[in-house]
């Protein structure tokens, strides 16, 4: 894979990425819905465990444990989603056992990346807590955890708001670490973490303007989800996995759109309609 090099894209291509992401998303609605529901259920249990440990463990330590759990969970989610996206892109069906195998197999490759992302995301979060609360890290963590464990009304809305918030810090971490495309590179190619990070870094430097625009759009969407429409995160979670795959496909494989698959889908629909009318 030494010959693999990123391609330059235009800022306007980001709009195409979102269109292609929605297209892949709606080609596999059941697959992505099931994994997102599972992800939210796991996060709900994690929040319950956090509540039970509150007051028995130092809040900074407790918050960091929760964050590393979340980073692991989001990488599990993204591994599965980019795999589903690739199969949808090639009009293949992937079964649940194969998806489970991929998630378990590739997670060992992500250990280093998980740790580095956790450290970076934690620093961003803890510094943000200190700045927002006007206090030190300990007091900021105390206030945040007290808010998290004190929610009695609208527990689902809070879970979705929390997920959007954590996803925001995760995106900032992988962007500033320059590992934006590490997930598809590690999953689809036989390469190590260092080589994947080098290629992802080159892609970011080469396409800094369009990828910065993409990050800003995602931040705006996540903030809107946090402040006004928490349910939007149910769509944003799987869309992010599709978006990473589409971006990887365009920058590293040179494939901006999959017109062949779209024509195949349209032809299949037309054939079904013809059979129904005849």
**φ, ψ dihedrals at 179, nearest 5°:** -120, 30
For residue 39, give both structure tokens.
Answer: 């992800």
**What confidence category does residue 259 fall into, taking pLDDT thresholds of 50, 70 and 90?**
low
Give the DSSP letter string of 53-91: HBTTB-HHHHHHHHHHHHHHHHHHHHHHHHHHHHHHHTT
**What confidence category does residue 151 fall into, taking pLDDT thresholds of 50, 70 and 90?**
low
**Per-residue confidence (pLDDT) for residue 263, from 0 to 100:** 53
Task: Write out pLDDT tens, residues 114-132.
Answer: 777 777 777 777 677 666 6
What does the alpha-carbon distance between residue 129 and residue 239 come to, in Å, rounded to a whole number? 28
- Is pLDDT of 180 > 80? yes
SS3 per residue for 162-214: HHHHHHHHHHHHHHHCCCCCHHHHHHHCCCCHHHHHHHHHHHHHHCHHHHHHH
Give percent of the chain with pLDDT exceeding 70.
Answer: 84
**Per-residue confidence (pLDDT) for residue 272, from 0 to 100:** 62
Domain, as residue range, for 114: 13-277
Q: Which of these ranges, 38-42, 65-69, 234-238, 271-275, has the smallest mean pLDDT?
A: 271-275
For the chain, the average pLDDT equals 82
Cβ–Cβ under 8 Å, residues 171 and 218: yes
What's the Cα-to-Cα distance from 257 to each of 81, 206, 213, 236, 246, rounded to whole Å? 18, 20, 19, 21, 8
Average pLDDT over residues 80-104: 85
Domain count, the chain: 1
- Is pLDDT of 268 > 70? no
**What confidence category does residue 199 fall into, taking pLDDT thresholds of 50, 70 and 90?**
very high
Average pLDDT over residues 125-151: 69
For residue 89, give both structure tokens.
Answer: 């892109």
Task: Write out pLDDT tens, residues 25-34.
Answer: 998 888 888 8
- Is pLDDT of 226 > 80? yes
Q: Is residue 5 part of a domain?
A: no
What does the alpha-carbon distance between residue 195 and residue 185 come to, in Å, rounded to a whole number? 9
Q: Is residue 1 part of a domain?
A: no
**Per-residue confidence (pLDDT) for residue 229, from 0 to 100:** 86
Q: In terms of C-beta density within 10 A (0-12 exposed, 13-18 middle, 19 or more buried), how is residue 216 classed? A: exposed
Q: Is residue 3 part of a domain?
A: no
**Per-residue confidence (pLDDT) for residue 1, from 0 to 100:** 44
- Is pLDDT of 189 > 60? yes
- Is pLDDT of 78 > 70? yes
- Is pLDDT of 198 > 80? yes
Q: Is residue 109 part of a domain?
A: yes
Q: Is residue 4 part of a domain?
A: no
Average pLDDT over residues 37-66: 84
Q: Is residue 7 part of a domain?
A: no
More confident residue, 170 or 244: 244
Q: Is residue 174 part of a domain?
A: yes
Rounded to two decimals, what is the model's pTM?
0.84
**What confidence category does residue 90 fall into, taking pLDDT thresholds of 50, 70 and 90?**
confident
What's the Cα-to-Cα distance from 276 to each of 27, 262, 269, 270, 272, rounded to whole Å? 21, 21, 11, 10, 6
Q: Is residue 163 part of a domain?
A: yes
What's the Cα-to-Cα distance from 160 to each of 1, 39, 63, 200, 224, rounded to whole Å? 39, 11, 18, 29, 12
Which residues lie across from 54 on neighbouring strands? 57
Which residues lie across from 57 on neighbouring strands? 54
What does the alpha-carbon distance between residue 136 and residue 276 come to, in Å, rounded to a whole number? 67
The residue written with tokens 């649940």 in the block is: 96
């Amino acid at each position: 894979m030494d010959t693999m090099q990123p391609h330059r894209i235009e800022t306007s291509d980001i709009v195409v990425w979102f269109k292609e992401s929605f297209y892949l998303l709606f080609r596999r609605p059941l697959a992505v819905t099931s994994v997102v529901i599972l992800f939210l259920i796991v996060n709900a249990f994690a929040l319950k465990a956090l509540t039970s440990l509150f007051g028995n463990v130092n809040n900074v330590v407790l918050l960091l444990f929760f964050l590393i759990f979340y980073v692991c969970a989001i990488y599990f989610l993204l591994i599965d989603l980019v795999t589903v996206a690739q199969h949808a892109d090639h009009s293949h069906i992937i079964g649940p056992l194969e998806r489970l195998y991929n998630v378990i197999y590739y997670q060992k490759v992500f250990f280093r990346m998980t740790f580095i992302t956790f450290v970076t995301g934690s620093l961003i979060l803890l510094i943000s807590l200190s700045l927002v609360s006007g206090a030190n890290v300990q007091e900021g963590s105390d206030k945040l955890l007290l808010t998290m464990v004190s929610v009695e009304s609208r527990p689902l809305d809070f879970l979705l708001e929390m997920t959007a918030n954590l996803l925001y810090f995760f995106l900032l971490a992988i962007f500033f670490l320059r590992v934006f495309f590490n997930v598809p590179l590690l999953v689809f190619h036989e390469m190590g973490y260092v080589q994947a990070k080098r290629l992802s870094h080159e892609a970011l430097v080469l396409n800094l303007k369009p990828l910065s625009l993409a990050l800003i759009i995602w931040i705006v969407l996540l903030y809107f989800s946090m402040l006004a429409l928490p349910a939007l995160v149910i769509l944003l979670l799987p869309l992010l996995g599709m978006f990473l795959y589409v971006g990887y496909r365009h920058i590293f494989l040179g494939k901006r759109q999959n017109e062949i698959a779209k024509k195949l889908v349209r032809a299949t629909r037309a054939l079904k309609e013809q059979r129904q009318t005849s």
